[in-house]
Amino acid sequence: MQSHNSTDTAPVSALPHQTGRHRPPLGSREFIAMMAMLMALQALAIDAMLPGLGQIARDLGVADPNRRQLVVGVFLVAAGLGALVPGALADRHGRRPVLLVTLGFYVALAIGCALAPDFDSLLALRALHAVTSAGVAVLPAAIVRDRFAGDRMARTLSTVSTVFMVVPMLAPSVGQFVLLFAGWRWIFGVLATMGAVMGLWIFLRLPETLDPANRQPILPMTIARNMIRAGLERSASGYMLGSALVFGAMIGYVNCSQQLVAEHFGAGRAFPLIFGGTALSLSLSNFFNARIVERFGARRVSQSALLVWITLSLVQIYFAFSPHQTLLRFMPVLAANICAMGFIGANFSAIALQPFARIAGAASSMQMFVRTLVGSLIGIVIGQAYDGSARPLAMAFLTCGVFSMLLVLYSERGRLFRRLIPPGSPRIAPDLH
C-alpha cells in the first residue's frame, strides 16, 4: 500500500499507476466535485421525480395513490441489484472505462423513460435505468479508496457527501421548475443531459486510479470470494447493515414525503423548499463531519450520532401520537434526525470499506448492493404503510435506529467509542478511530 502522504496529497493525475495520455493535474477540489456529481446523478434520478408523481399518476391512469411511490421504490431496489456488477468489472478493467459505459446507459435509459407509453413500461424502464447505471453510485467510493485510507478516507467521503447533498436540496425544485413549462417527461430529459455532461467530464479529466497490482481476474469464484469476504467480515458487516437500516428510514421518508408533507400537512407548492431544507441539514452535518472526523475518529462520531438518532426518534413518536400534530412540530424534529444521519452515513461507509484496499471495487459493490437493496425494501414498506399520519414513519425511524445500534455492537464486539490507535502513533496508512 502507498504511504499516507502519497495517497493523501498527490493530485489524481500524478498517481504512479496512472495510465493513458497526459492530463493536467486533477486537483482535490475538482476531484471532490466530480465524485459528488457522479453520486448525485442517482439522487437526481430519484428526487427530481417527486413533484411529478401526481402528474405521472394522472397521465398514466394510476388510481392507487400509494402506487405512484413505485416510481421511486422500483428504481432504488433495482439500483441495489445493479450494484453487484460494476465493482467487480472495475477491479479488472479499471474505474474509468466502466464509468463511461455506465454513463452511456444512464443517458440512453433516461431518454427511454421519457418515452414510456404507460405506467408499467415506465416502471420497467426505471428498473433497467437503475440496474445499468448503478456504477455512478458504486465507483466513487472505490476511487476514493484507491487514494485514501482510514479517517482521511472518511473525511474525503464526508466532503464528497457535503457537495453531493446539494443535489437532493435542488432536485425537487428542478423537477418543479420543469413542470412549470413542460410535462413530467422532460424531467427525464434533464437527467439525460446531466449524464451526458458528466460523461464528457470523466472522459476529459479523470485518469485511471486503479493500481495495476490490484487488478482482479474476472473469474466467478474470485468475484464470489471477494463479495463474500466483503459481506461477512465482522468488523465491516455490522456497519454495512446498520447503514442500510438508517438509509431505509430515510428512503421511507422520501417515498411518502410528497403525500405526508405536501398533502397531509398542507405544504402544497412549498414542498420542494421544505424537502430541500431537510436535505440542507444533511449537507451541513456532512460539512461539519468532514472537519471533526479526523480529530475524534469515525467510530466515535458516528456512534454518538446514532444515539442522537434514536433519541430524536422517540421525540418523533411522541409528537406523532399527540393530537393535532402540525407541520411546525413535525419538520424541525425530522430535520434534526436527518442531520444526525450526516454524521452516520459517510463514516459507516468508510469504516466498512477500510479492510478492503485490494478489492475496493468488489467491496464497494457488495456494500452498496446490501445498503441500497435492504434500504430500498425497507423504504418501500415504510412508504406503503403510510396511513395519512406521521406515525408509521416515526416508528420506522426508531426501529431502524435501535437495530442499527445492535449491529454496530456486533461489529465492535460490544464496545463503543473505542480509539484503535493512540493519538500520535506512527502509522503508514491511517486506521479508523
Q: Is the pLDDT of residue 10 over 60?
A: no
Q: Is the pLDDT of residue 233 over 90?
A: no
2 is a domain residue: no
Which residue type does 237 have? Answer: S
Rounded Cα–Cα distance for residues 334 and 329 (Å) = 9
Length of the chain: 433
What does the pLDDT read at residue 426?
36
405 is a domain residue: yes
- List pLDDT tens digits, range 175-192: 888 988 888 999 999 999
Rounded Cα–Cα distance for residues 150 and 350 (Å) = 7
Rounded Cα–Cα distance for residues 233 and 83 (Å) = 19
Rounded Cα–Cα distance for residues 91 and 275 (Å) = 37
- CA 372 to the chain's CA centroid: 8
CATH number at residue 286: 1.20.1250.20
Least Cα distance to 102 among 14, 41, 15, 166 occurs for 41
143, 187, 217, 235, 357 from 225: Cα distances, Å = 21, 40, 12, 17, 15
32 is a domain residue: yes
Q: What is the mean pLDDT of residues 6-31?
A: 56
CB atoms within 10 A of CB 330: 21
- List pLDDT tens digits, range 195-215: 999 999 999 998 888 888 888
What does the pLDDT read at residue 423?
38
**What domain count does the chain have?**
1
Share of the chain above pLDDT 90, in %: 27
Asked if 316 contacts 394 with a C-beta cutoff of 8 angstroms, the reply is yes
Rounded Cα–Cα distance for residues 163 and 170 (Å) = 12
What does the pLDDT read at residue 402?
96
4 is a domain residue: no
pTM of structure: 0.68
Asked if 206 contacts 26 with a C-beta cutoff of 8 angstroms, the reply is yes
Per-residue confidence band for 294, with pLDDT thresholds at 50, 70 and 90 = confident
Cα-flanking dihedrals φ and ψ of residue 182, to 5°? -155, 180
- List pLDDT tens digits, range 142-154: 888 788 776 677 7
**What residue has cell string 422532460?**
186
- List pLDDT tens digits, range 353-394: 888 877 777 787 788 888 888 888 898 899 889 888 889 999
What does the pLDDT read at residue 15?
47
**Average pLDDT across the chain, whole number:** 82
Share of the chain above pLDDT 70, in %: 88
Asked if 299 contacts 432 with a C-beta cutoff of 8 angstroms, the reply is yes
Q: What is the DSSP letter of 208?
A: P
Residues sharing a CB contact under 8 Å with residue 346, sequence separation 6 or more, in sequence order: 154, 157, 158, 160, 161, 286, 289
- List pLDDT tens digits, range 124-143: 999 999 999 888 988 888 88
What does the pLDDT read at residue 152?
74
430 is a domain residue: no
3-state secondary structure at position 389:
coil
What does the pLDDT read at residue 16?
40
Rounded Cα–Cα distance for residues 246 and 366 (Å) = 17
- List pLDDT tens digits, range 305-355: 999 999 999 999 999 998 888 888 888 999 899 889 889 988 898 888 888
**What residue has cell string 475524534?**
296
Least confident of 20-24, 25-29, 76-80, 119-123: 20-24
What does the pLDDT read at residue 117?
92
Q: What is the DSSP letter of 52?
A: G
Burial label for 238, CB within 10 Å (0-12, 13-18, 19+), is buried
386 is a domain residue: yes
431 is a domain residue: no
What does the pLDDT read at residue 356?
83
- Residue 308 has, within 13 A of its CA and on its CB side, a CA count of 19
Q: Which residue range forms the structural domain that includes residue 387? A: 24-411
- List pLDDT tens digits, range 49-65: 888 888 999 899 887 87
Q: What is the DSSP letter of 10?
A: S
45 is a domain residue: yes
